[in-house]
Amino acid sequence: MTEGSGQRVLVTGSAGFIGGYVVEDLLRRGYAVTGIDNYSKYGPVTKSYDNHPSYRFVEGDVRDLELMADLVTDCDHLIAGAAMIGGISYFHTYPYDLLATNERIIAATCDTAIRAMPAGRLRKVTYLSSSMVFESTDRWPSKEGDERAIPPPLSSYGFQKLAVEYFARAAWDQYRVPFTIVRPFNCVGVGEGRALGDVEIPSGNIKLAMSHVVPDLIQKVLRGQDPVHVLGDGSQVRHYTYGADLADGIVRAMSSERALNDDFNLSTAQSTTVLELAERIWRKCHGPDRPFSVVSDEPFAHDVQRRVPDVTKAEEILGFRATTTLDEMLDVVIPWVAQAVQDGLI
C-alpha cells in the first residue's frame, strides 16, 4: 500500500507556484488531491497532473465558506497555501491588498477547519507561512521560535504571514484544530509566470514584470543586459530552495505525527548572495570567458539583507533535507525562462 492510499488532501492555492509542486508530490505518494484556486495570480494555467485520476480541481475562492465546507467534507488533511503573494516589488506595490486579502483568506480557511472538525475526518491543517516572519531579526541563523522573540516584520506581507501563524495557534487554543506551520525559504523552480496586476519595474534598459530575483536575473541576462542590474550592492544573503524539495518538506510535515502543533523552517542549508547568484546565471548563459559586471539599483525599503534559517529541527524531526544544488536548479529554470521569454509569457 502506498503512503497516501485512502487519504484525500485539500490544497488551497493549488494552481500557484509552490502549490503545483505540492500537488505533484502528493499524487506521487498516492494521495488523492482536491485543489482549489481562483486563478487570481496568473490566470488559467495548465498543469501536468490536470487529468490525473486522483486529482480534482475546483475553480473557486477560498473565502467562499459554503464551497470550502463542501470540499473539505471527504478530506483528511488541508494544506493552506492560498494567498495573494509576489516578490519584493509586488508587496511594495500592494501593501494594503496583501494584508487585507490574506487576512480574509486565512480566516476563512480556519473557519472551514473549525466547522469541519466535529465531523471527525479532518486530521490537521498545514499552514504555509514564510521566511519573512524573520524580516526584523538581528540573529542568525533564524531558529523556530525566534519569530516570537524578535520585533515584528515591518512589511505588511511579513506581518500578515506572522499573523497566519497566530491564526493557526489560536484555532488550536480555542477549537483544538491540530496544525503544523511550515516556512519555505526562497522557492526556485519552473511554472512561475507573469502575475496578473504585477507592475513593470525599470531596471536599466529592461522593464521587469516579475519580482522574484531568480527569474528576473535570468531574463535580464538572456535579453542581453550588460552590465547586469541588481538591487542594492548584491550582498543580500538568501537560501535558494528548489520547489520540489520544499514540496517534499511540506508533505512530510503534513503527514508526520511528530510535526503535530509544531513549526518548521524548510530550506536548503546553503547561503548564496545575490551577486553570486547573478554571476552563476551569467556564466551558465555566457560561458567562463565573457566579463561579468553589475550595476546597483536603488533597493526597496524592505529588502532584507540576511535571510538565513536554522534547518536542524526539520532534519531531526521530519528527516527533511533540501538536496538540490543551485546549479541543478538553474539548469532546469534557465531553459524554462528562455522558452517563456520566447513565447511572451514573461
Q: Provide the residue ranges of all domains of the chain, joining segments of one domain with +.
A: 8-190+240-269+308-323
**Cα(14)–Cα(23) distance, rounded to whole angstroms?**
7
Task: Examine the pLDDT at 92 and tell me if it is beyond 50.
Answer: yes
pLDDT band at 209 (very low <50, low <70, confident <90, very high): very low
Omega into 141 within 30° of 0, i.e. cis?
A: yes
**Cα(310)–Cα(174) distance, rounded to whole angstroms?**
30
How many percent of the chain have pLDDT more than 70? 91
Return the CATH number of 8-190+240-269+308-323, one of 3.40.50.1980, 3.40.50.720, 3.60.20.10, 3.40.350.10. 3.40.50.720
Per-residue pLDDT, averaged over 23-46, amounts to 91
pTM: 0.93
Task: Examine the pLDDT at 1 and tell me if it is beyond 90.
Answer: no
pLDDT score recorded for residue 40: 82
* Cβ-contact 265, 131 below 8 angstroms: yes
Express each pLDDT in 257-314 by its tens digit.
999 999 999 999 999 999 999 999 999 999 999 999 999 998 877 678 999 999 999 9
Bigger pLDDT: 199 vs 251: 251
**Cα(188)–Cα(336) distance, rounded to whole angstroms?**
12
**Cα(186)–Cα(112) distance, rounded to whole angstroms?**
29
CA terminus-to-terminus distance, the chain: 42
User: What is the residue-averaged pLDDT of the chain?
Assistant: 92
pLDDT score recorded for residue 328: 98
pLDDT score recorded for residue 66: 98
3-state DSSP call for residue 60?
A: coil
Express each pLDDT in 215-274 by its tens digit.
999 999 999 999 999 989 999 999 999 999 999 999 999 999 999 999 999 999 999 999
**Cα(108)–Cα(17) distance, rounded to whole angstroms?**
21
List the grid coordinates of 38.
Answer: 481562483
Task: Examine the pLDDT at 322 and tell me if it is beyond 70.
Answer: yes
Omega into 152 within 30° of 0, i.e. cis?
A: no
Bigger pLDDT: 240 vs 41: 240
| C-alpha gyration radius of the chain | 20
**Cα(320)–Cα(323) distance, rounded to whole angstroms?**
9
pLDDT band at 204 (very low <50, low <70, confident <90, very high): low
pLDDT band at 145 (very low <50, low <70, confident <90, very high): very high
**Cα(147)–Cα(166) distance, rounded to whole angstroms?**
11
Nearest to 9 by CA among 22, 17, 285, 90: 22
* Cβ-contact 213, 159 below 8 angstroms: no
With 0-12 / 13-18 / 19 or more C-beta atoms within 10 angstroms meaning exposed / middle / buried, residue 305 is exposed
Per-residue pLDDT, averaged over 167-174, amounts to 98
Express each pLDDT in 63-83 by its tens digit.
999 999 999 999 999 999 999
pLDDT score recorded for residue 202: 53
pLDDT score recorded for residue 48: 87
List the grid coordinates of 301.
Answer: 525599503
Per-residue pLDDT, averaged over 199-217, amounts to 65
**Cα(239)–Cα(310) distance, rounded to whole angstroms?**
11
Task: Examine the pLDDT at 337 and tell me if it is beyond 60.
Answer: yes
pLDDT score recorded for residue 195: 58
List the grid coordinates of 232.
Answer: 542594492
User: From the centroid of its chain, how far is CA 197?
Assistant: 19
Beta bridge partners of 184: 266
* Cβ-contact 162, 133 below 8 angstroms: yes
